[in-house]
Structure 1
Amino acid sequence: MTRTLARLSGNLRGVLWMTGAMASGVFVDVCAKLVSADIPTAQILAMRAILTVAAFLVILMFVGTRQVRTRRPYAHMLRGVLWYGSLFCVFYALRQMSISEVNAYLFIEALLTVMLAVVFLGEKLTARKLAATLLGLVGVWIMCAPKMNGFGVPLGVAGALAGAFCFSAQTLFAKVLTRTETNFSMLFWPQIVAVVIWVPVGVILWQPAALSDWAFAGGAGFFAMLTNYMVLRAVRVADASVISPAAYTALPFSLAMDLIFFDMFPMPIIFVGAGLVVLAVMLLDFKGSAKPAPSADEDEDIAPSVSTKQQADARV
């Protein structure tokens, strides 16, 4: 299996990892949406952060603190703010719309990443990427138009779009951090940031939470960790502007979750706009081989005894 994956181009391996991340990510949305409507969004994030940090501390007892040592503490802090800022916006939007609608609006994240990667990471802006971005923006506009009152954007839609921007920015930070940081540290430090920021806010707004609410908050944390781990594996081997469009696979996954758990179906116009966005993805070039970001200990959180350099061709 590893040898088969190693034969694929870096960009294609990244796309496969990102697709898996989207399949996991919809379960974050399901868990967040199943939390009682009486629980404030900030409290959900606080509950999730508490449970996630507790799990990480237990793991650290076995793997040691070496896994969370970092050379870029401020970058981790900013990424943590962006990560949980994105979650707040998305969880807020999920309170007002279906999972598939929220994920359709989040498709703009890939378009933002294409532009941000060009500006901040120096990735090449080709005519094909530019055309794909413009076409994708048209698709996003079509999805937004039915919900707009003149030029006013409903808060749920605004939350989803703001969440897309924050997620795009944290994806770029992840691309940079993979050069020196382990996957474990990149998953750990944002949770510490979340505890510092969201627990005080959650305490102020606190409402009684049932055991099921804690379970769903914990489930959201688990699937979010799994999702972000796969995203980190993706950005190690592929260009950020290439793997992000794989996030569009979240639409069929979220449609299935809406039907199974909530018996919901989005407005038909969502499919028109999403179809244009998918067409935009097809314009992007998935060929070539992206060089993995160098990191002397990048996979030690999974297999400390295996040399990362020896596994360079097998990283996915």
Structure 2
Amino acid sequence: MNELKFKPLKAALFMALAVFLFSCMDVLTKHMAESFPAPFVVAARYAGNLVLLLALVAPREGKRIVHLGRPWLVILRGACLSAVSLTAALAFQRMPVAETIAVVFLAPFAVTLLAGPLLGEKVQPISWIAAAGGFVGVLMIVRPGSGLDPLGVLYAGLTAGGSIVYNMLSRSLARTETSWSMMFWTALVGTVIFSSVTLGQGAIPVPQGMDLVFLGAMGALSLVGHLLFTQAFRYAPASTISPVNYLQLVWSGILGLLVFGHMPDPWALAGMALIAVSGVSGALYPLIQPRFARKIGGLA
């Protein structure tokens, strides 16, 4: 069984790097989904991820890469991520990257609040405040009159729901499974599911040139990003590091502007700022609270 060590700074760094890579992958997903069916784009990403695992990791890990302590939960985790990948791709077809990610950030709020009753973790009051602030930020973005595609908002909401289950399973399985085995089975499940869906869609344009490069890059970004994501849960509770996910809003907003030329409206920007501030404050509190308490105690 893997022993969990409390290293919040290391966990926060891993999560911050992971969400940056996820933002890059989201931008590529949106770009590719404009020319190819969403299931095909997701299938190519999972297949690329699986090929890299088999080529670079399997020779070193051997049988350990397929070993599972709780196989059904690992497969369920993979199925959840597959569902999330599809609904996210469908949302990206209809909405800008930053606004889509903002709606998806309903998930970290729920993870923070559910970590107590479901995982037995102690949820600090600041985490509740951060979750409330982030939720208000999401409402500012999806407010009536925002101009967002209602179906796109629905897909983003479904993505958030699947992400809740995926994040909770990631934290639970970190106690018994290796990072590489979880990544292998996640990639395998996603490849099987989306390859089957793609084959049932009939003729699909054959990617060429830079499209092939982009599809390959998606697999690599997914591999490294999910490795960092999984490792982060080994060093801190879900309620502590989930708020770091909010940094993805910053990356998505910058990349969306640079690649697609999209600038969110003032209300959306204010909502994203509120989400980011709430998330970062919730993540940093466990790091500064003991020092603050010692300082106050020394003054008493």
Q: TM-score, normalised by structure 1?
A: 0.81
Spell out the pairing of 1:265-304 with structure 2 (5 A cutoff).
265-281=263-279, 283-284=281-282, 285-287=285-287
Query: Structure 1 counterpart of 2:52, which letter?
Result: A
Work out whether residues 9 and 288 of structure 1, in 8 Å CA contact, stay in contact via their aligned partners in 2: no
Work out whether residues 244 and 280 of structure 2, in 8 Å CA contact, stay in contact via their aligned partners in 1: no
- Name the structure 2 match of 1:202: 198
Work out whether residues 48 and 216 of structure 2, in 8 Å CA contact, stay in contact via their aligned partners in 1: yes
Work out whether residues 34 and 216 of structure 1, in 8 Å CA contact, stay in contact via their aligned partners in 2: no
* Worse overlay, 60-69 or 135-144: 60-69
1:35 aligns with 2:32: yes
Work out whether residues 80 and 166 of structure 2, in 8 Å CA contact, stay in contact via their aligned partners in 1: yes
Q: How many angstroms apart in 2 are the aligned matches of 1:256 and 1:138?
A: 22
Structural RMSD (CA): 2.3
- Name the structure 2 match of 1:50: 47
Cα distance, 1:61 vs structure 2: 3.5
Q: How many angstroms apart in 2 are the aligned matches of 1:208 and 1:247?
A: 35
- Name the structure 2 match of 1:101: 99
Q: How many angstroms apart in 2 are the aligned matches of 1:121 and 1:288?
A: 24
Spell out the pairing of 1:138-177 with structure 2 (5 A cutoff).
138-146=136-144, 154-177=150-173
Cα distance, 1:279 vs structure 2: 3.5
How high is the sequence identity, in percent, across the aligned residues?
28
Spell out the pairing of 1:72-91 with structure 2 (5 A cutoff).
72-91=70-89
1:237 aligns with 2:235: yes
Deviation string for 1:112-169 (max 9, x for gaps)?
11122123101123332222222221111111113579xx981111212221221232
Larger helix fraction of residues: 2
Q: How many angstroms apart in 1 are the aligned matches of 2:197 and 2:18?
A: 29
Cα distance, 1:107 vs structure 2: 2.1
Cα distance, 1:276 vs structure 2: 2.3
Q: How many angstroms apart in 2 are the aligned matches of 1:259 and 1:276?
A: 19
Deviation string for 1:191-240 (max 9, x for gaps)?
11112211111111241132243432222121111111111111100111
- Name the structure 1 match of 2:126: 128
Q: How many angstroms apart in 2 are the aligned matches of 1:88 and 1:234?
A: 24
* Worse overlay, 251-260 or 276-285: 276-285
The number of aligned residues is 280
SS of equivalent to 2:234: helix
Question: Could you say if the C-alpha distance between residues 181 and 249 of structure 1 is closer, same or farther in structure 2, counting changes exceeding 3 Å?
Answer: same
SS of equivalent to 1:232: helix
Unaligned runs of 5+ in 1: 1-7, 290-316
SS of equivalent to 1:104: helix
- Name the structure 1 match of 2:294: none
